[in-house]
Amino acid sequence: MQDGHAVVDLGELRTGVAPVPLQLRVNSTGRYDVSVSSANSGRLRLGSSEWYVPYSVAIGGNSVNLLGPSTIAGSPESGFRREALPIQFVIGDVSNRRAGTYSDVLSISVTAR
């Protein structure tokens, strides 16, 4: 991670869960929300073309709707804690797609409630 940005390589895209061990680490003294948005509305895009591969994300076991900005609630408990929320990418149908590098930009922010 550099300057708050991370590049996540999902490897060769295959339908199903991408094998990337990734966590969102949160240190908190109170309740918080995690906001997520996708630049391509939950689609990995091949360059500037119209070729896409759909995908979804779950953070801490909570599915995130990538069609628009989405918010999931963090732990309902207050008091100091450290949490490591697993981030899981589920790749949709990759059949009949052009070869190449597909990408999207996810923005994730954690805010106090």
pLDDT in the model for residue 57 = 96
Tell which phi-psi region holds residue 97, choosing left (phi > 0), alpha (psi between -120 and 50) or beta: beta
The pTM is what? 0.86
Read off the pLDDT of residues 58-94 as tens digits, 9 standing for 90 and up: 999 999 999 888 888 877 777 788 999 999 999 999 9
Is the domain spanning 16-112 CATH 2.60.40.2040? The answer is: yes
Every domain of the chain and the residues it spans: 16-112
| Angle subtended at Cα 59 by Cα 97 and Cα 29, rounded to the nearest 5 degrees | 155
pLDDT in the model for residue 2 = 62
113: pLDDT confidence band, cut at 50, 70 and 90? confident
